Amino acid sequence: MEAPPVTVEVHLANGLPSFTIVGLPEMEVKESKDRVRSALKNGGYRVRARRITVNLAPADVKKDGAAFDLPIALGMLAASGQLPKDRLQAYASVGELSLDGRVKAVRGALSVAVAVRTSGLRGLLVPPANAREAAVIPGIEVIPVPTLADAFEFLRGERSIEPTHVDLEAVFRAEARFDVDFSDVKGQETAKRALEVAAAGGHNVIMVGPPGGGKTMLAKRLATILPALTLAESLEATRVHSVLRLMEGRSLIATRPFRAPHHTISDAGLVGGGSVPRPGEVSLAHHGVLFLDELPEFRKNALEVLRQPLEDRRITISRVVGSVTFPADIMLIAAMNPCPCGFLGDAQRTCTCTLAQVQQYRSRVSGPLLDRIDIQVEVRAVPYRALADQASGESSATLRGRVDGARQVQLARFHDGPLVRNAQMAARDLRRFCAVDPAGEQLLEQAMDKLALSARAYTRILKVARTIADLGGSEPITAAHVAEAVQYRSLDRAPQ
pLDDT at 199: 97
- pLDDT, mean of residues 228-238: 92
pLDDT for 479-490, tens place per residue? 999 999 999 988
pLDDT at 382: 81
- What are the two backbone dihedrals, phi and then psi, of residue 91, each rounded to the nearest 5 degrees? -125, 140
Q: Which CATH class is domain 182-396?
A: alpha beta
pLDDT for 251-296, tens place per residue? 889 999 999 999 999 988 999 988 778 899 999 999 999 999 999 9
What are residue 328's DSSP bridge partners? none
Give the CA distances from residue 477 to residues 198, 435, 438, in Å, rounded to whole numbers and listed in that order.
17, 6, 10
- When comparing pLDDT for 418 and 65, which is higher? 65
The number of angstroms, rounded, from the C-alpha of 177 to the middle of its chain's C-alpha atoms is 18
DSSP states of 310-344: HHHSEEEEEETTEEEEEE---EEEEEE-SSSSS-T
pLDDT at 493: 60
> Which residues of 113-158 form beta strands (DSSP E)?
123-126, 141-144
**One-letter-per-residue 3-state SS of 40-94:** HHHCCCCCCCCEEEEEEECCCCCECCCCCHHHHHHHHHHHCCCCCHHHHCCEEEC
Edge-to-edge order in the sheet of strand 18-22: 7-13, 51-57, 18-22
pLDDT at 85: 84
- What are the two backbone dihedrals, phi and then psi, of residue 85, each rounded to the nearest 5 degrees? -80, -30
- Is 129 buried (19+), middle (13-18) or exposed (0-12) by CB count in 10 A? middle
Residues 6+ apart with CB under 8 A from 372: 204, 307, 310, 311, 332
pLDDT for 147-204, tens place per residue? 999 999 999 999 999 999 998 888 888 888 888 999 988 888 899 999 999 999 999 9
CATH topology of domain 425-496: Helicase, Ruva Protein; domain 3 (1.10.8)
- pLDDT, mean of residues 390-416: 90
Residues 6+ apart with CB under 8 A from 418: none
- When comparing pLDDT for 441 and 177, which is higher? 441
- When comparing pLDDT for 319 and 139, which is higher? 139
Residues 326 and 4: their CA atoms lie apart, in Å, by 16
- What are the two backbone dihedrals, phi and then psi, of residue 96, each rounded to the nearest 5 degrees? -90, 135
pLDDT of 316 over the 70 cut: yes
pLDDT of 324 over the 90 cut: no
pLDDT confidence tier of residue 113, bands split at 50, 70 and 90: very high
CATH topology of domain 7-155: Ribosomal Protein S5; domain 2 (3.30.230)
Contact (Cβ atoms closer than 8 angstroms) between residue 293 and residue 222: no
pLDDT confidence tier of residue 22, bands split at 50, 70 and 90: very high
Asked whether the bond before 58 is cis by omega within 30 degrees of 0, the reply is yes
Give the chain's mean pLDDT: 90
- pLDDT, mean of residues 30-47: 91
Q: Which of 24-33, 131-140, 452-461 has the lowest mean pLDDT?
A: 452-461
Domain locations in the chain as residue ranges: 7-155, 182-396, 425-496
% the chain with pLDDT above 70: 98
pLDDT at 384: 66
pLDDT at 494: 52
